[in-house]
């Protein structure tokens, strides 16, 4: 996990900590994806959009396990907003209204961490209720677009096309591994698998 700051802009510190100008600040919790931190945690993390990077800073609730993390936009392949995974207990206690809890309030950041592909999974806390958190995620996507942050993401490597689908079984096996590690959901696995099988 990278901890070095990307740069100090010499302007008034709008983030409140660390001297980095925040274009936008959100509260999130860690849901997984980092090799050094395999399990989800519940303490709040400050998630900053800066001019050059995503900054994730610990708060009093997360300082026991979270170190400051900087993800330069040039290392980011994609950012996706996905539906949260509802626990069985939430589904039972939520009753007929439980579907409202299964809104898209999770942020997946796919990036290279020291040349290793990584998917950092976060859940939006800003907004308090799940529908409001999902609205904040839509706002977050809008900010990525209007601030032209997505333009700074790294381009997908242009590899040779798969020859006649010969590589499809190994790609499906790789996706199954990602699913088993909790990096992608069952629904994402099934969607990608169907896409790969259609290419055979």
170-197 pLDDT tens trace? 788 888 888 887 778 888 888 888 887 8
Which two tokens mark 6?
A: 């990307």
pTM for the whole structure: 0.64
Q: How far apart, in Å, are the Cα atoms of 166 and each of 18, 129, 173?
A: 50, 46, 13
Per-block average pLDDT, block size 10, for the chain (200 residues)? Answer: 43 51 91 89 93 95 94 94 61 51 79 89 83 85 92 71 60 81 82 78
By CB atoms closer than 10 A (0-12, 13-18, 19+), residue 48 is buried
Torsion angles phi and psi, residue 37, rounded to 5 = -140, 75
Which two tokens mark 191?
A: 């969607």
Return the bridge partners of 32, or none: 121
């Amino acid at each position: 996990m990278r901890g070095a700051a990307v740069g100090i802009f010499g302007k008034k510190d709008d983030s409140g900590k660390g001297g980095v100008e925040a274009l936008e600040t959100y509260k999130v919790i860690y849901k997984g994806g980092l090799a050094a931190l395999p399990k989800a945690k519940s303490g709040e993390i400050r998630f900053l959009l800066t001019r050059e990077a995503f900054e994730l800073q610990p708060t009093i609730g997360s300082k026991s396990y979270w170190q400051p993390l900087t993800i330069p936009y040039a290392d980011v392949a994609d950012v996706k907003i996905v539906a949260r995974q509802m626990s069985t207990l939430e589904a039972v206690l939520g009753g007929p209204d439980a579907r409202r809890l299964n809104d898209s309030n999770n942020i997946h950041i796919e990036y290279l961490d020291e040349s290793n592909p990584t998917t950092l999974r976060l859940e939006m806390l800003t907004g308090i209720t799940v529908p409001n958190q999902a609205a904040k995620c839509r706002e977050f996507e809008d900010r990525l677009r209007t601030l032209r942050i997505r333009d700074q993401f790294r381009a997908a490597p242009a590899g040779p096309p798969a020859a006649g689908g010969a590589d499809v079984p190994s790609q499906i096996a790789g996706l199954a591994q990602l699913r088993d590690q909790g990096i992608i959901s069952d629904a994402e696995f099934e969607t990608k698998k169907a896409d790969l099988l259609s290419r055979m």
